[in-house]
Amino acid sequence: MTAPAPGADARRITLTVNGRRHDVEVETRLTLADCLRHGLGLTGTHLGCEHGVCGACTVLVDGRSARSCLMLAVQANGAAITTVEGLAASDGTLHPLQQAFQAHHGLQCGFCTPGMLITLIEFLGDHPDPDAAAVREAIGGNLCRCTGYQGIVAATLDAARRMRAAP
Amino acid sequence: MSEGLIGRRLPRLEDPALLTGRGRFVDDIHIPGTLEAAFVRSPHPHARITRVDATAARRHPGVHAVYAYADLAPHLTANLIPADNRHLAFEANSRPPVLPVDEVCFVGEAVAIVVADSRYVAEDALALVEVDYDPVPGVSDCRAALAPGAPLAHLGAADNVVKTFQTAFGDCDAAFAGAPHVATISLKQHRGSAHSIEGRGVLARPDPVEDRLTVWSSTQGSHRVRNTLVELLRLDEDRVRVIVPDVGGAFGAKHIVYPEEVIVALAARLLGRPVKWIEDRREHFLAAVQERDQYWELEVAADRDGRLRGIRGRMIHDQGAYTLLGMNVPLNASLAMPGPYLLPAYQLDVTVVATNRVGVIPVRGAGYPEGVFAMERVMDSLARDLGLDRAEVRRRNLIPPERIPFDLPLKSRDGTVTRYDSGDFPLCQAKALAAADYAGFPARQETARAEGRYRGIGLANAVKITGRGPFETAIVRIGPSGKVTVHTGAMPMGQGTVTSFAQICADVLGLAPEDVTVVAGDTATVSLGIGGFGSRQTVNAGSSLLLAAREVRAKALAVGALVLEAAAEDLELRGGAVWIKGTDRQLPFAEIARALGGGVGYARPKDVSPGLEATGNFMPPDVTYGNACHVVEVEVDVGTGAVQILRYVVVNDSGKLINPMIVEGQIIGGVAHGIGNALFEWMGYDEGGQPLTTNFGEYLLPTAPVVPEIEIHHVVTPSTVNPLGVKGVGEAGVIPAAAAIIAAVENALEPFGVTLAEAPISPGRLVELMAAGRS
């Protein structure tokens, strides 16, 4: 479904996703989100609005959060990308933020969750000891219709504590 | 282990997969060879279709098919989405077509489907489908639609009135005659959308080997989709399987069967290939249902002490272009108005009006937010007019606990008397006022005003019908593996249903919740299913599950007693086996399942039915009513009109709680939705019906910085009409929220002479009202 159509403008690119290298040929117009989801089968990254507002599709590109619906796959050529599938340890142990999301009911339907987690991973890297207001500001660009954000904020503060205690 | 699983804040079983990207939403299902679809949609609110020519689109490389009405009609038994709600009968002109024949009635109405190798190619080809439209005048505002000579929402209709009905009890004439206080109040509430973060989506796979059709749909009702496909595509029930994968929120928008689900399923059959359509956000704005457009004109009669004598008036409800679920929303709104209050006489004349906007069905709350808004605005106006405290006026009118169960002389949708089975409304209000320090508010307000800041407090009460039957099946099955599986027609869509149900089942069978697998939303495993709406699933399916699990428990004990040669009362269920208490002698479920499965040579009691399994079909004798009181404190920036919510207190009574963490999550999410309805979510249309807000830049959802911490207190009066004692909670949070917030904003702006009669209310509108109040 993401193989270039015959005659379409296409490029061969290299993406390193969650530490694994992928060489793929993509149409130049293919979004990074569709490349990850449909080309590489990493369906954890979700599309909620496809115009850059809801944040569900957020991934890390070379360590910085980006809306994968607003970025073309070819723009990520050569980049290291982290998606929600890459957050847990290789032995399956959940990241402290993932654990805290479960403990504090930080998700309901789970559709916005990948973007929330990625956004907050970046945020906690920059702000290891935030207050609730800062957390709310940090996810101000991620929409959740289920939780009212409260469990997400509580989870993030708890994860920050855990991560400071065991860096 | 079995003790105390009910009522515990257990972590959700759903979470690990969802936290690691292993959830499986409809667009995550990849079947090789799948084609992808996009829809040609009307750009006009109202137009005749004079020609559809897909020649160029069909020639476009990568396009497999383009189907418009004429292409699909021969394969459909009817071109109307079936009605399965017989209450207050549908009007002939108001059911949506699968595809329009020659007239489109709202922007976004699907006119044709393009099926291609990818969504990218399908969207390329949309522009090549030539549709000749002959635009005709449309009507947008439901009041304008009633004016003589107004454009007709449907060509050929006599007028735009879909239905008129009256909700009434008591003697209004007597109530108003000689009433010491009579006032009028006009209210306006505006529509918004559901906006689950996952849109709608459907994937259909034909299986030529078995002549079956498997459909994965992001829906609130697997069986309703199945039944619709069976009817319209003329298929046998056992040839169609509808599976609901993980659903990324729904909130009402996925409650009905949409034309897109039928068209995609038919396209897959015609092409012999899997076909997938995933709704994008713009399509959700245009073509997914919306709710809340109503205009209320009320007259209220009261005694000098604020006690209600009667309310009468008229409500105009915008139904949009199509009636998709009967009169559900306007009827609910009219029934919701009395709420927790003693109202001696009531008469509401409702006019349901067709407009050229997308159709209306319940969006989280289903008419209750509108009815509650109306009643709570009445309460605040009474307090203002009579010089009484707003909480005190309410207290005087609340139904006292000694009058519960309380029969409201109103027939519900099922034709039964409206009976509040349980609840303590004054207690809820008193607790909410105490928690929010309502008594201390005047001092806080005064202090703030001295500093040039404007604080306000507001409160609202609500009662919500929940747990509507007639049933929802739950089956408990234990096979030779010894594993416990629950099958149900109930539909999870983010509410934690799997965890709550696992708790109920595990509690009875002496298991840990993670030992129970809950399979929901698959028509192949349960013959009947009603679905997820109206805060009904834990009441219905949860109770069915309790009964089924008890039956399985009894069967296990009977076999255990026979095989272990012990009295049933000496046995206990623990860890997937029947044990003789205080000994190491046990019989695993797997062995019992083999015995009851007909295994040769196994001992089994003669009077125990086959299979270590049971089906529960609890039929609640009546609905059950939850209630809540919300108290909100806000500060309004009188320069910009920005509203900041400082404190939000909820006292909620949803009866017994299976998992309080999950219940609180439902309430908080509902309150956030209500904050949107009060302050942000405004789905705009121009005078002709052209949508004005079709992205998240123009239509604002509540974000984390504007949603405060919600403080929740529970009052538990168990429901008396189901064995779990539970009441539904999915909609509880949203219903009084907008009413309470608008009241708080109004209170903050009292010095400016501002009264509020609408929702949502934007900062700009507040500035305008303050300016008007000053002059």
Residue A38 with chain B: CB contacts under 8 Å: 30
* Token output for B43: 């750009």
Q: Does B23 touch chain A (CB under 8 A)?
A: yes
Look-up of token digits 């690691």 = B20
A1, A72, A87, A109: best to mutate for the B interface, most B CBs within 10 A: A109
B760 preceded by cis ω (within 30°)?
yes
Question: Cβ of A148 and B707 within 8 Å?
Answer: yes
Of A27, A44, A109, which has the smallest distance from its Cβ to B249's Cβ?
Answer: A109
A vs B: CB pairs below 8 A? 184
Structural domain boundaries in chain B: 15-20+469-616, 424-460+625-775
Question: Cβ of A110 and B28 within 8 Å?
Answer: no
Determine contact, residues A26/A74, Cβ cutoff 8 Å: yes
Question: Cβ of B248 and A46 within 8 Å?
Answer: yes
Q: Which of residues 121-160 of B touch A (CB under 8 A)?
A: 121
What fold does the segment set B424-460+625-775 form as a domain? Aldehyde Oxidoreductase; domain 4 (3.30.365)
Question: Cβ of A30 and B120 within 8 Å?
Answer: yes
3-state secondary structure B23-42: CCEHHHCCCCCCEEEEEEEC
Closest among B502, B507, B497 to B6, alpha carbons compared: B507
3-state secondary structure B364-399: CCCCHHHHHHHHHHHHHHHHHHHCCCHHHHHHHHEC
Residues in chain A: 167
Looking at B306-361, which runs of residues are DSSP E strands? 308-320, 346-354
Give pLDDT < 50 ranges for chain A. none
Task: For residue A113, give the chain B residue with the closest CA.
Answer: B19
Q: Which of residues 189-218 of B touch A (CB under 8 A)?
A: 195-199
Q: Does B673 touch chain A (CB under 8 A)?
A: yes
Of A143, A151, A153, which has the smallest distance from its Cβ to B665's Cβ?
Answer: A151
Architecture label for domain A96-165: Orthogonal Bundle (1.10)
- DSSP code at position B551: H
Task: For residue B492, give the chain A residue with the closest CA.
Answer: A109
Give pLDDT < 70 ranges for chain B. 1-3, 84-93, 412-414
Question: Residue A135: what pLDDT?
Answer: 98
B470 preceded by cis ω (within 30°)?
yes
Q: Is the dihedral of CA A51, B494, B735, B455 positive or negative?
A: negative
Determine contact, residues B462/B627, Cβ cutoff 8 Å: yes
A42, A72, A108: best to mutate for the B interface, most B CBs within 10 A: A108
- For residue B10, the SS3 value is coil
Determine contact, residues B466/B727, Cβ cutoff 8 Å: yes
Task: For residue B120, give the chain A residue with the closest CA.
Answer: A30
Residue A156 with chain B: CB contacts under 8 Å: none
Determine contact, residues B724/B658, Cβ cutoff 8 Å: yes
Looking at B496-591, which runs of residues are DSSP E strands? 516-520, 571-574, 577-580, 586-588
Of A48, A136, A152, which has the smallest distance from its Cβ to B197's Cβ?
Answer: A48
Determine contact, residues B750/B456, Cβ cutoff 8 Å: yes
User: What top-level class would CATH report for the domain A10-86?
Assistant: alpha beta
Question: Residue B89: what pLDDT?
Answer: 52
Q: Which of residues 23-52 of A touch B (CB under 8 A)?
A: 27, 29-30, 37-38, 41-51
* Rounded (5°) CA angle A11-A17-A21: 65
Question: Cβ of B197 and A140 within 8 Å?
Answer: no
Pairing of strands B294-302, B63-68: unpaired
Residue B23 with chain A: CB contacts under 8 Å: 44, 110-111
Pairing of strands B212-217, B290-291: unpaired
Of A2, A53, A108, which has the smallest distance from its Cβ to B495's Cβ?
Answer: A108
* Token output for A14: 């290299």
Closest among B453, B413, B456, B460 to B433, alpha carbons compared: B460
| Nearest-CA distance A61 → chain B (Å) | 17
Determine contact, residues B343/B306, Cβ cutoff 8 Å: no
Determine contact, residues B189/B758, Cβ cutoff 8 Å: yes
**Cβ-proximal residues to A139 (8 Å cutoff; 6+ apart), any chain:** A55, A116, A119, A120, A123, A149, A152, A153, B703, B704
Question: Residue B88: what pLDDT?
Answer: 56
Question: Cβ of B249 and A108 within 8 Å?
Answer: yes
Determine contact, residues B336/B317, Cβ cutoff 8 Å: no
| Nearest-CA distance B142 → chain A (Å) | 28
Question: Cβ of A146 and B20 within 8 Å?
Answer: no
A29, A49, A135, A142: best to mutate for the B interface, most B CBs within 10 A: A49
Of B27, B251, B672, which has the smallest distance from its Cβ to A148's Cβ?
Answer: B672
Of B21, B198, B664, which has the smallest distance from its Cβ to A44's Cβ?
Answer: B21
Q: Which of residues 88-117 of B touch A (CB under 8 A)?
A: 117
Question: Cβ of B28 and A43 within 8 Å?
Answer: yes
3-state secondary structure A27-96: ECCCEHHHHHHHHCCCCCCCCCCCCCCCCCCEEEECCEEEECCCCEHHHHCCCEEECHHHCCCCCCCCCH
Structural domain boundaries in chain A: 10-86, 96-165
Residue B14 with chain A: CB contacts under 8 Å: 110
Question: Cβ of A43 and B21 within 8 Å?
Answer: yes
Alpha carbons B651 and B436: distance in angstroms, whole number: 10
Q: Which of residues 123-152 of A touch B (CB under 8 A)?
A: 132-133, 135-137, 139-152
Q: Which of residues 69-128 of A touch B (CB under 8 A)?
A: 83-85, 87-88, 94, 98, 101-103, 105, 107-114, 117
Closest among B468, B469, B506 to B617, alpha carbons compared: B469
Pairing of strands B346-354, A80-82: unpaired
Residue B710 with chain A: CB contacts under 8 Å: 148, 150
B9, B15, B31: best to mutate for the A interface, most A CBs within 10 A: B15
Q: Does A155 touch chain B (CB under 8 A)?
A: no
Closest among B66, B55, B65 to B111, alpha carbons compared: B66
* Token output for B619: 């039929």
Q: Where are the alpha helices (DSSP H) in B565-636?
A: 589-596
Q: Does B33 touch chain A (CB under 8 A)?
A: no
Per DSSP, the residues of B415-447 read SSEEEE-S--HHHHHHHHHHHTTSTTHHHHHHH
Determine contact, residues B374/B335, Cβ cutoff 8 Å: no
Residue A141 with chain B: CB contacts under 8 Å: 703
Determine contact, residues B56/B130, Cβ cutoff 8 Å: yes
* Token output for B394: 């309410």
- What's the CATH number for B15-20+469-616? 3.30.365.10
* Token output for B516: 């129970």
Task: For residue A88, give the chain B residue with the closest CA.
Answer: B20
Task: For residue B31, give the chain A residue with the closest CA.
Answer: A1
| Nearest-CA distance B42 → chain A (Å) | 21
B405 preceded by cis ω (within 30°)?
yes
Look-up of token digits 């006489």 = B345
Determine contact, residues B167/B301, Cβ cutoff 8 Å: no
